[in-house]
Structures are given as C-alpha cells and as structure tokens.
Chains A and B, each alone.
Chain A
Amino acid sequence: MMAAVLVTVLLLETVVFPGLALGGWRPSLVTLSVIAFALADGPETGLRYGFAAGLTADLLAGGDQLVGMSALVLLSIGYAVGCARPYLSGQPVGAVLLVAAIGSAAAVLLSGLLSVLLDAEAPRGFAVIEAALVVGLYDALLAPLVYRPVAALATRYTGNPVVG
C-alpha cells in the first residue's frame, strides 16, 4: 500500500507538477507523503517510509543528487514528525498544515545544507532559502489533499487512530 502511494506521488511530482510550478518551484509531494504517513502512523513508520521514499527519489534524480541524501533527509523528517505526533492529537487541521509547512521547509533546508557539505552541485544559499519558503508554503497548501487519503489508507491498514 505504501509502495502504491509512493509511486503515485512520484509520478505526480515528476510529470504533472513541473507544469504547475509557483515562481519556478515545484511542491515536494514526496516530502508531504512522508509527513502524512508519519502523522498518521508514528515515528517508526515515518522513518521507514521516509528512507524508502528518499532512496527512490535519489535513484530517480540521476546525477543531480548523491544517492542517499534524500533518504537521510526524509527519514529524519519522518522520524521528527512522528515524534511530534502525540502532541498533536486533538488539534485541529491547522496543526497538520503547520507541520507540513515546517516539515517541508526543513527538508529543503537540510537538502541544501547537505549539498553544500558534500559539495555536490550545491545551489546558492539564497536559492535554498527561497526554495524552502516557497516549497514549504506550496506543500502546506496541498497538505490537506495529501493527508486525508493517506490517513484514511493508514487507518484502514493499521487501525491506529489519526491526528485531525
């Protein structure tokens, strides 16, 4: 089930959303799906799914990124969001949006930072900050659309109660 979601998200992000870029930046649906799974299911799932999603994204990115970079970033985000889950139960949907925005922005910043550290075709600092802001916002806008189906699927398959 998670694989199906991952494939769908990747297809959407690579084929459909380049045409829907805001100011030249695409939303990061893969990150959103990681956050959604982490919120729905907890830190372990967030970690595992984040790793798998990041690894697949890295493999698809070709020479642009070192393989493993997105895996590291997304598993951290997945774990962090999953850990924040108990604090969010009972909060309204706004909390989900906030988490999505912060999570996505953090993912972009981490990716940029790692690129600089590992000296792999690093984008310039200003671009990273701009990307983090725009992608964070765009992801927050799309968060409800991604979160609802993912949460529904998660409850159906694991039976855990979900946030929001």
Chain B
Amino acid sequence: MLVSLVLLTLDYRQGETGVLAALQRGALTVFGPVQEGFAAVVRPVGGFFGAIGDLASLRAQNEELAADNEELREQVASLAELLQENAALRAQLEMRERLQLTTTGARVFAQPPGSFSYSRLLDVGAEQGVRVGQAVVNADGLVGKITEVTANNARLQLATTPSEGGYAVRIAETGEVGLLSGRGRNPYRFVLQNPEAEVERGSEVVTQMFGGTAIPDGIPVGIVEDSGGEPGRFLTVRPYVDFSSLDIVQVVLNAPEIPADLPQGALVPLEPAPRPDPPQPSRRTTAPGSAAPGTASGSPSETRS
C-alpha cells in the first residue's frame, strides 16, 4: 500500500513526461496488439450471441419486406390497366382540344338487360352539368347522345340504335349534308339531302350543326364504305367508334353557338362555331343550362323521340 501511494505521488508530480508515464506507454505498446488479436478472434463469437438476440426482430423485418414485395407486385399488375386508361384519356383530351369542346369524362358502367339494348348507363348526371340532348364522344368520334338524366347518372343512347331518324351529318370533303341513322350492328345508313350528289368511297363523315341542336359541328362519325347502287341513294358508313368496347367517354357540355340570324331548324353548312364560354357549374335540374337551344325546338332530322 505504501508503494502504491508513492507511485501515485510520483506520477502525479511527473505528469506526461515522467518515468511512470513512459512505463504506461510501454505497456500499451506491448499489450495493445495482444488485445487487438484477441478481439479479432472473439468478435464473431460475440456476434453470434448478439445475433440470437436479433433473430426475432429479423424475422419480423423479413415478413414486413415480403408483404411490401407482394403489394408492389399487385401494383405492377394494375399498372398495365392504368397505362391503358391513361392512353385512352390522353387521346380523348387531344380530340377535345382539337375540336375545342368542353366535356366531362364519364364511365360506362352498365348496359340494360335484354339482347337488343343500344343504350348505356353513365356515371355522371345533372350534378355534373349533363343535360338531355348532349352529344357523347370518345377519342375516335361520335358515340351517341344523352336521352335521360338523373341527379347522378345519365343514359347514353348509342348512335347505332336502329331508328328512322338520327343525326345530321355531312361529308367532310365536299360539304354534302344528309341524315345518318343507326342500323344496330350494321354500319350506319346515310341519306343525302341532294340525291344527285357524287360521293366517293373513303370520304369522311362528320356531324353537321343546325339550328336547335346541342351536338357540336365537325365531330368525326365514320367513313363512307359503299356508295350504294344508284349514285347517292343510300350510303353505308362504317363508324369510327368501336361500340363493343366502350369504357370511358366524354359528354360534351357546351352547345354550339348558333348565329342569331339562322332560322330555327335550318339544315345548312355553317362555319365552325367560335368557342363558347365554359358553362357555370349548375345544380339546377329543371332548366337546361348550357344546352339552351338544344332540346326545345323541333328539328327536321330528329324524328325519333
């Protein structure tokens, strides 16, 4: 005990530079590598025992990662569908901008029972600004028009509905106007106003605006397939739209602006209408908002009720 007290005093008094400090450094130099070597050997063993403690948390982590992986796989699977929907919506947006339409997207969610139903139910209604008589289009062209509206749903009557009346259309290249009627699964039937007019196969058919309609001008409808027997009698027009795979469509909300001096019901080729203002979001279910000129007046081409 006395020796240690002496050594303590000596070390204290000598500090860093004294003999005892040198002895300490010597001890470190000698013993250090031994300690290091020993540590290198012992570390895996220590690690092993430490890992056993970690095992439970590792298992939990593994399960979590497996679940994440599964979720990511599912997301990848639905990705393909999203990409498809994206492409369809982009194409419809392009068409809408090209023709300067104000539209709202709608999804076809049901078809009425029965084998011969030519209408579809849409998931937009009066709350979204849909009115009876509005046109419905998709990226390919004219799909049909709205015939019934409730607060949140609407009925789309396809353009291919077999009927005598139909849509006012014209040949895009020559401007010849006429009436297009649906023939169910068969191509449209197109009757020209001027029976003597010459029409070529492959001519494009687009909608024709007239007084009292809510259907905009210039929407592609189909392509002339057959000029018929006598020139210009009945033409068959193949639709652009694939009616068996309708999913998302656009309901055209803005009616074309009719020039004030045009007599109601006249069926004449017109300049394309200037872009109307977008309609106010309307919650009224009584008065038709933006389709004001649309449904009220009778028109020569709309013979079907």
Using a CB–CB cutoff of 8 Å, the interface residues on chain A facing chain B are 10, 13-15, 18, 21, 24-26, 28-30, 57, 60-65, 70, 108, 111-112, 115, 121-124, 127, 131, 135
Contacts and interface: CB of A to CB of B under 8 A. Distances in A.
B244 A64 contact: no
Contacts of A29: 113
A116 B154 CA distance: 27
A63 B115 contact: no
Interface string B143-157: 000011000000101
B78 to A, nearest CB: 17
A111 B116 contact: yes
B119 A65 contact: no
Given A14-B111, A15-B110, A62-B155, A124 B116 contact: no
A123 B147 contact: no
B116 A64 contact: yes
Contact of A115 (B116, B121, B155): B116
Interface in B153-192: 155, 157, 161-163, 183-186
Nearest to A70: B114
Nearest to B121: A14
Nearest to A9: B113
Given A62-B155, A63-B119, A124-B186, A28 B147 contact: no
A14 B162 contact: no
A62 B161 contact: no
Given A62-B147, A124-B184, A131 B115 contact: yes
Contacts of A24: 185, 244
Contact of A64 (B112, B183, B185, B186): B112
A118 to B, nearest CB: 13
Nearest to A108: B115
B162 A63 contact: no
A28 B111 CA distance: 12
A121 B110 contact: no
Contacts of A57: 112-114
A58 to B, nearest CB: 8
Interface in B105-123: 109-119, 121
B110 A18 contact: yes
Contact of A25 (B115, B147, B148, B161): B115
A98 to B, nearest CB: 20
A69 to B, nearest CB: 9
Given A62-B148, A62-B155, A135 B115 contact: yes
Contacts of A122: 162
Contact of B110 (A14, A30, A64): A14
Contact of A123 (B110, B119, B121, B162): B162
B181 to A, nearest CB: 11
A131 B148 CA distance: 27
A10 B112 CA distance: 9
Contacts of B148: 62-63
27 contacts: A13-B113, A14-B111, A14-B121, A15-B110, A18-B110, A25-B115, A26-B115, A57-B112, A61-B114, A61-B119, A62-B112, A62-B147, A62-B155, A63-B147, A63-B155, A64-B112, A64-B116, A64-B118, A65-B117, A108-B115, A111-B116, A112-B116, A121-B118, A121-B161, A124-B184, A127-B116, A131-B115
Nearest to B164: A121
Given A63-B147, A121-B163, A127-B185, A14 B112 contact: yes
Given A24-B244, A122-B162, A123-B162, A61 B112 contact: yes
B113 A123 contact: no
B195 to A, nearest CB: 24
Contacts of B114: 28, 57, 61, 64-65, 70, 111
Contacts of A111: 114-116
Nearest to A16: B110
